[in-house]
Amino acid sequence: MKKISRRSVLGTAAVAAAATTLPSLPARAQSKSLTIGVCSDFSGTYSDIGGKTSVACVQQALEDFGADKKGYDVTVIQGDHQNKPDIGAGLARQWFDQGVDLLIDVPNSAVGLAIAGVAAEKNKAYINSNSATSKLTGTACNAQTIHWTYDTYMLSHSTGGAMVAQGGKSWFFITANYAFGTLLRDQTTAVVKAAGGTVLGDAAYPFPQTTDFSSFLVQAQSSGAQVLGLANAGKDTVNSIKQAHQFGITQSGMKIAALLVFINDVHAIGLEIAQGLILTESFYWNMNDRTRAFTSRVLPKTPNNYPSMGQAGCYAGVTHFMKAVDVIGVDAASNGAAVVAQMKKMPTDDDAFGHCYIREDGRFMCPSYLFQVKKPGESSTPWDYYTKLHTTSAQDSFASPATEGCPLVKA
Amino acid sequence: MIMIFGKPAPLLFGQLLLGIINGSFYAMLSMGLAIIFGLLKIINFAHGAMFMVGAFVTWGLLNYLGINYWWALLLSPVIVGALGYVLERTVIRRIYKLDILYGLLLTFGFAQVLQGGLTNYYGSSGVSYDPPDLLSGVWDLGFMYLPVYRGFVIFAAVIMCGATWLLIEKTKLGALLRAATENPSLVQSFGVNVPRLIALTFAGGVALAAFAGVLAAPLYAVNPDMGSELINTVFAVVVIGGMGSIGGAILTGFGLGIIEGFTDVFYPPGSAVVVFVVMAAVLLARPAGLFGKLA
Amino acid sequence: MFGFSRGQLIGFVLMTAVIVAAPFVVYPIFVMQVMCFAIFAMGANLLMGSIGLLSLGQAAYFGVGGYTCGYLVQTFGLTPELGILAAALAGAALGAVFGWLVIRRQTIYFAMITLALAQIVYFWAVQDINVTGGENGIQGIPRGALFGLVSLNKDLAMYVVVAIIFLACFLLVHRVIHSPFGQVVKAIRENEPRAISLGYKTDQYKWIIFILAATLSAIAGATKAQVMGIVTLSDVGASGSGLVVLMVLLGGIGTIFGPLIGALIVVAMQYYLAPFGAWVVVIQGVIFMACVLVFRRGIVGELAHRLRTAL
């Protein structure tokens, strides 16, 4: 009898003790201690446009800011949301409960939106530098969230607008059937229709487990549309384009509008197949001296993967966050609304995006660039893939705050 | 454009062809499953994982050893078959006396090990593998474009299914296998090494899955989840066809692929679930499946 | 007392003590998740332990419970206890329909049909975007106020509710097993033809157990939805069905503490090993295999066997 009691008690005590040692975060006893959490996709569809390179960019930002020299003790932790909103939200909740001051990155709009809710609930700073959904500065905006880098509005108007201007009037969409894909498709549809075009059909597929797009490509081909609009990203886009090539879509004269493409995707597809693709990014490593300098500093930390705009956004976001903390102090930094308010007050400046600013609704305002992928012969150095076609000003790249339904915007 | 049943002909034929391609995979995989179940009475939930490993081995052979696709068609099934042989002799052998469901759980666990391990090394979206040069390119058939490689897949699958069926139904080895299924101890008393036969059968069934994996590598991104997505459908196919019937598995595999293809034309969201609806319906009407016998 | 054996009574007292102390020592959300999954596992344990049937589709009821509660609470402002009640009814209804379809089948076919039915439910969850939110799921489910009076926004308040639900389910399951009804079910498990010859309508008994299992799964799903505020496709997918079987197997099929121990270990693994990514899946697979090969009684089962008492 006594045996059972002792054994069970010991057993449960051991488990309980183990359970309390959830990721331990440094005590705030030392005056200048901060924790930054990188919540990203480390193994799935978006692992190349987020993942380890995002962490590298965060670390680079801290180095360039001189965090150590200024006496800051910053811990960077990372977590894999596996493209599941419940895992992402649970991770965010746990991190914020245990003292994380800033949550950054988050490719995948569904997870991005879920975390925005948690950030508001816990009043902690959240810089989303890798989701696309413009709802983050629209109906889902809040005082703790900043949406960095790009959004679906920018993509639909820049790439979508360019394709329509080139004569692509009839479209067929292949859409990742979740928050991001459906929004991108809807916004691009608006652009197409406003220019007098039509949408002949839409094939929405389950995300993230679809790797075979053949059935949707067949539908697209038989619709006779002029443009194949890909409302997806990451490896989905890579697979769609490769398979489109296998099915002879480009040979038959159909154009591909890859609405969201990162340089890592172009690398995966290869210039042979990707040449001529038109895409929009707000950062390109080879665009000017400052971007080249930043890239050469961060590359040793991420040797096989050059940073694309989302990861550069992690760099810029952390840089700006640290500048804000410099002003308001570390203790105030755990108050999300306070830090974000300070970040909105100060203009931003970094090697990745240059001089920009953050709007009242949390939207990071930077210009966007229309690029075309080079032909294999035109590319001289590794990852030298883009030719810049056009620059759109920050004002024109993003939706006007009045129309998006953000409660923070005074009417 | 010609319209059939209100849908453009390219769409109909295109989806039909895609359906046959899917059906090829269903047929090959369910054949292996039916063989394994027929002789070992094991529900091999690791079959999808073996298919996936076959694809990874194909990629690995090219990436690490520079061995091309054509050799992989032979080597990958051999390697995975060897893995299956070892698995049977070490682990599966121990549970024959137990309830049939333990076999299911054991192989399910093994599948998780394989899947998790490969996810760790290669990420959940996996790696890409291009079709061999000889088979790349596209045929313009007029009513649709058919990538050459996909045509090859259908061809290879039909040959493999036919060859396996012939082996089991028409050769002496096949007769031995069928006899051992019905009465292992009697066959053993004739001097046949039944345990080795069983291990080889398992290896063979799994090798079939790996062969399908080689065919699949250039088609779908080689990723750790490619087997688990397929396995549920394949089980449905085997159950519909009848759990021990090989001919049933082949016919049902292709048949269901075609049904899926048609559903994709008329009601695309339904194509993911039509197989299960058919399975539920068939099982309620004919508990042993279309071609099976209630043991 | 209550039909508990000596060992079980001590176990129950200990368990209650741990549950009461836990939120002050451990992250409360973690413990709440354990309890929700323990309820889920209790349902599966009923099926596997009492009538010896393996269902590969329990997640269907878990998901339906979650979606029902989430949708009603979020859209119609239902209070949490009504949401969970509605979920239980939905689970019971679905269990009744599906159960009636499958209960006459034998082992493998039973497993396969439950798998097929679960896939059909998954398909509904993907398609019916207005109710389930499709790929996005239902997010931001408010915790509301219990009976309209006590706000559950504080984790501790929610914890008390979850603990009460868990203990209630625990006692209910135990009562069912140790009732005359439960005795008949046990008889059916041991020798069905004889039970039939004694005049028992065995199919009906099995059907009721099936419904009970579905109801418990739905309650678990609904409670989890309230705790985490989110329901997604992963709750209704095949991985959840596999996970609950693992919990039951690991804990010990047919024991009453098994589901809790199994749930505790599996959920803890997912928390601690999350930084290690997919190694969790590998370890789960290894545990599955180990349980089948050498550890068929499960942890609690093994303990009970050594101590020669029922647990």
pLDDT digits (tens, 9 = 90+) for A228-273: 999 999 889 999 998 898 888 887 788 999 999 999 999 888 888 8
The share of chain B scoring above pLDDT 90, in percent, equals 38
82-141 in chain B: CB under 8 A from chain C: 91, 94-95, 98-102, 104-106, 108-117, 119-120, 124
- For the stretch A394-405, pLDDT in tens is 999 999 988 888
Q: How confident is the model at residue C2 (pLDDT cuts 50, 70, 90)?
A: low
* Residue whose structure tokens are 């001289």: A380
The share of chain B scoring above pLDDT 70, in percent, equals 98
Judged by a CB distance cut-off of 8 A, whether residue C1 touches chain B is no
Domain boundary assignment for chain B: 3-231
Contact flag C120-B116 (C-beta cutoff 8 Å): no
Count of CB contacts below 8 A, B vs C? 124
- For the stretch A138-180, pLDDT in tens is 999 999 999 999 999 999 999 999 999 888 899 999 999 888 9
- H helix or E strand, kind and range, residue B161: helix B148-170
Residues of B with CB under 8 A from a CB of A: 1, 8, 10-11, 14-15, 18, 119-120, 123-126, 128, 131, 136, 138, 140, 144-145, 147, 149-150, 219-221, 223, 225-226, 229, 264, 268, 271-272
- The predicted pLDDT at position B104 comes to 87
Partners of A16 on chain C (C-beta within 8 Å) are 18, 21-22, 25-26
Contact flag C272-A18 (C-beta cutoff 8 Å): yes
Contact flag C29-A177 (C-beta cutoff 8 Å): no
By residue count, chain C amounts to: 311
Pick from C120, C137, C143: which is nearest to C235 by CA? C137
Joined tokens for residue A11 = 């057993």
ipTM of the complex in this document:
0.85
Cβ proximity of B262 and B18 under 8 Å: no
Q: Which amino acid is at A142?
A: N
Contact flag A214-B138 (C-beta cutoff 8 Å): no
Determine if the pTM surpasses 0.95: no
Contact flag B125-A211 (C-beta cutoff 8 Å): yes
Contact flag B124-C238 (C-beta cutoff 8 Å): no
- Which of A41, A211, A213, A245 has the highest number of chain B CBs within 10 A, making it the mutation to test binding with B? A211
User: How far, in Å, CA of C308 to CA of C303, rounded?
Assistant: 8
pLDDT, average across residues C209-232: 94
CA distance A87 to chain C (A): 10
- H helix or E strand, kind and range, residue A174: strand A170-176
Contact flag C29-A93 (C-beta cutoff 8 Å): yes
- The most distant pair of C-alpha atoms in chain B lies apart, rounded to whole Å, by 66
Q: For chain B, give the mean pLDDT.
A: 87
Question: Does the pLDDT value for residue B205 go beyond 90?
Answer: yes
User: How far, in Å, CA of C82 to CA of C69, rounded?
Assistant: 8
- The predicted pLDDT at position A130 comes to 95
pLDDT, average across residues A36-64: 92
- The predicted pLDDT at position C1 comes to 58
For residue C54, give the nearest of B101, B111, B272 by CB distance.
Answer: B101
Residue A300 CB neighbours (<10 A):
9
266-295 in chain C: CB under 8 A from chain B: 277-289, 291-293
Q: How confident is the model at residue B1 (pLDDT cuts 50, 70, 90)?
A: low
The share of chain C scoring above pLDDT 90, in percent, equals 51
Residue A101 CB neighbours (<10 A):
25
Question: Does the pLDDT value for residue A411 go beyond 70?
Answer: no
φ and ψ of B145, to 5 deg? -95, 135
Query: Is the link from the previous residue into A208 a cis peptide, with omega within 30 of 0?
Result: yes
- For the stretch B99-146, pLDDT in tens is 888 888 899 999 999 999 998 888 777 788 888 888 888 887 777 778
Question: Does the pLDDT value for residue A3 go beyond 80?
Answer: no
Alpha carbon separation from B245 to A70, B27, B181, B212, B241 (Å, rounded): 74, 12, 12, 19, 7
pLDDT, average across residues B71-78: 94
CA distance A181 to chain C (A): 11
Burial A334-366 (b: 16+ CB within 10 A, else e): bbbebbbebbbeeebebbbbbebbbbebbbbbb
Joined tokens for residue B274 = 């039509």
Q: How confident is the model at residue C207 (pLDDT cuts 50, 70, 90)?
A: very high
The alpha carbon dihedral of B269, B272, B276, B282 has a sign of positive
Query: In this predicted structure, which of A27-31, A186-190, B105-109 has the lowest mean pLDDT?
Result: A27-31
Judged by a CB distance cut-off of 8 A, whether residue A268 touches chain B is yes
Question: Does the pLDDT value for residue B68 go beyond 70?
Answer: yes
Alpha carbon separation from A161 to A130, A156, A157, A189, B272 (Å, rounded): 22, 7, 5, 10, 34
CA distance B124 to chain A (A): 5
Question: Does the pLDDT value for residue B226 go beyond 60?
Answer: yes
- Which of A53, A84, A221, A222 has the highest number of chain B CBs within 10 A, making it the mutation to test binding with B? A222
* Residue whose structure tokens are 């989302």: A310
- The predicted pLDDT at position A367 comes to 94
Joined tokens for residue B210 = 């790996």
What's the DSSP call for residue A323?
A: H
Q: Parallel, antiparallel, or unpaired: how do β-strands A170-176 and A227-231 relate?
A: parallel
- Which of A215, A232, A242 has the highest number of chain B CBs within 10 A, making it the mutation to test binding with B? A215
By residue count, chain B amounts to: 295
Pick from C204, C81, A235: which is nearest to B222 by CA? A235
User: How far, in Å, CA of A164 to CA of B97, rounded?
Assistant: 67
Helix (H, G, I), strand (E, B) or coil at A256: strand
Partners of A51 on chain C (C-beta within 8 Å) are none
Domains of chain A: 29-150+288-366 (3.40.50.2300), 153-281+367-397 (3.40.50.2300)
Cβ proximity of C178 and C3 under 8 Å: yes
Cβ proximity of A49 and A311 under 8 Å: yes
C52: alpha, beta or left? (left if phi > 0; alpha if psi -120 to 50): left
Q: Which amino acid is at A260?
A: L
- The most distant pair of C-alpha atoms in chain C lies apart, rounded to whole Å, by 56
Query: In this predicted structure, which of B5-9, B273-277, B291-295 has the lowest mean pLDDT?
Result: B291-295
- The predicted pLDDT at position B273 comes to 85
Cα–Cα–Cα angle for C17, C22, C24, nearest 5°?
120
CA distance A273 to chain B (A): 12
Partners of A15 on chain C (C-beta within 8 Å) are 264, 268
- The predicted pLDDT at position B283 comes to 79
Joined tokens for residue C281 = 């899946």
Minimal-distance CA residue of chain A relative to B225: A209
Contact flag A114-C307 (C-beta cutoff 8 Å): no
Q: Parallel, antiparallel, or unpaired: how do β-strands C230-231 and C138-139 relate?
A: antiparallel
Residue B285 CB neighbours (<10 A):
8
Q: At a CB cut-off of 8 Å and minimum separation 6, what does A53 contact?
A: A302, A305, A307, A311
Residues of C with CB under 8 A from a CB of A: 6-7, 10-11, 14, 18, 21-22, 25-27, 29-31, 126, 134-137, 139-140, 228-232, 234-235, 264, 268, 271-272, 274-275, 277-278, 307
